[in-house]
Amino acid sequence: MNKAIKYRLYPTTKQATMFANTFGCCRKVYNLMLNDKLESYKLTGKFVSVTPAMYKKDYQFLKEVDSLALANVQLNLQGAFKSCFNKSCKKKTGFPKFKSAKRSRKSYTTNNQKGTVAIIDNTIKLPKIGRVKAVIHRQPNADWVIKSATISQDNDGKYYASVLFEFEQNIISVPISDNAIGLDYASDGLYVDDKGNVGTNHKYYRESHKKLTKEQRKLSRMKGSKKGEAKSNNYIKQLHKVNKIHKHISNQRLDNLQKISTEIANQYDVVCVESLNMKAMSSKGFGNGKSTLDNGYGMFLNMLEYKLADRGKYLVKVDKWYPSSQICHCCGKKHPEMKDLRIRIFTCDCGFTISRDQNAALNIKNEGLRILKSETFAA
C-alpha cells in the first residue's frame, strides 16, 4: 500500500531560492517539451518523443536543479497526453496546456534513491537542497519505505513536503452487517443521515465572506490591480493577505471533513451514499453553486472511501438516478410530486410522515445494502 504524509517546511532564504528555481525549471521544461511535440505534429502528423536532457545544452540553468524533478515533469506530460487520448483511461482531461508563471501550481516531485530523501530528526533531506527544517507531526512506521516527495508552495507563501511511503498491509474485510448508515446530500448541511442527523452547520466561506470582501476591495484599488500594470509592493502584501484568508477557509473545511469522515468510518461498517455529479450541481444553472462548493462533499466522499477501505469496510454508491426522495420508506409507494424541491416534508397515504431528506437517506441505506449483498452473493 501507499500512503502520503504532508509536512510543513521552514526553508532558509537560500533553500527557498532553490525551491523557486526548481519550480521555474520544471515549468520551463514542461513548456519546451509540449511546444516541441506540437511543432512536430504540425510537420509530421506525429508527436515526437522528448526528454529534459535535450534542453540542458541550450539552457544551462537546468543543470543546477534536481534532475529527477525534471524527469517527473516528463512523466506528467506523458500522463496528460494519455488521459487526453486514451479511451480506456478513467480520468478524462482536456488537451495539455502550457503552464503559466502566475497561475500554475508551484510544485515538483523527486524520487528517493538510496536515501536521497529522508526524515532526519526535525528535518527532511532533499536532493540538491539538503536538510530542510520541518514539523514532523507524525513519524512513519519502521517498515515504511520512502518512495518520493512532492514539494509545493501555497498561494500564502507556505512550503510543504508530501512524502509518499510504501508498506505492506493485510486488510481483513469486515463481515457485511446491518451496522450501516445512509447519507443523503444536503446543500445546507453536507448530508442528512437515516436518523435525521445533519452533517455540519458550518459554512466556512460564508462565515469569512465579509472579511474576505473587505480585503479584496482594498486589493482592487491598489496599484498593480489593472491588467498590464506593474505590481507594487503594497499590492503583493495585500494579495498575500487575501490568499491567507482563502487558505484559512480551506483548512477549516478540510479539518471539519476529516473529523466527520473519521467518526463515520470508525462507527459504521457500511456507508451508503449517492453517486452525484458535483461539478454539474455547482454550476450556475442549478442555483446553489456557492453552497455546493462550500460543502466540499466530493472531498468528503473521497475521505470516506479510503478510510473505510483501510479498515476493511464498505462504501456503496447508489446510482444518482435512483428516486430515493420519491419512494415511501414505509410502504414503497412512489410519489412523483416529490420532484419539487420546495416540498420538505414527505407525507404518504399510508400515514408515514417524515423529513424529505431523512426519507431519502433511509431509501439510500436500504438500496445500498441490497446492492452490496447482491454483489457479494454473485461473487
Q: What is the pLDDT of residues 246-274, one digit of tens each?
A: 999 999 999 999 999 999 999 999 999 99
CB of 133 closer than 8 Å to CB of 9: yes
pTM of the model: 0.84
From the candidates 193, 269, 274, 294, which is the catalytic residue?
Answer: 274
Task: Tell me: pLDDT of 379 over 60.
Answer: no
CATH number belonging to domain 180-201+244-378: 3.30.420
| Band of residue 304 on the pLDDT scale cut at 50, 70, 90 | very high
| Band of residue 88 on the pLDDT scale cut at 50, 70, 90 | low
Q: How far is residue 340's CA from residue 343's CA, in Å, rounded to a whole number?
A: 6
Task: Tell me: pLDDT of 241 over 80.
Answer: yes
Q: How far is residue 272's CA from residue 180's CA, in Å, rounded to a whole number?
A: 7
Q: How far is residue 10's CA from residue 151's CA, in Å, rounded to a whole number?
A: 12
pLDDT at residue number 376: 72
CB atoms within 10 A of CB 85: 10
Q: Write out pLDDT tens, residues 50-77.
A: 999 999 999 999 999 999 999 999 999 9
| Band of residue 289 on the pLDDT scale cut at 50, 70, 90 | confident
Would residue 357 show up in a list of annotated catalytic residues for this protein? yes
Task: Tell me: pLDDT of 287 over 80.
Answer: no
**Cα–Cα nearest to 334, from 318, 322, 320:** 322
**Cα–Cα nearest to 325, from 363, 354, 353:** 363
Q: How far is residue 219's CA from residue 203's CA, in Å, rounded to a whole number?
A: 24
pLDDT at residue number 359: 92
Would residue 166 show up in a list of annotated catalytic residues for this protein? no
The Cα angle at residue 284 between residues 281 and 290, in degrees rounded to 5: 70
From the candidates 184, 193, 194, 215, which is the catalytic residue?
Answer: 184
Residue type, 238: Q
- Locate CATH 3.30.420 in the chain: 180-201+244-378
Task: Tell me: pLDDT of 87 over 70.
Answer: no
Least confident of 30-34, 216-220, 222-226, 363-367: 222-226
CB atoms within 10 A of CB 250: 15
From the candidates 194, 215, 269, 357, which is the catalytic residue?
Answer: 357
Would residue 168 show up in a list of annotated catalytic residues for this protein? no
Strand partners, 151: 108, 161
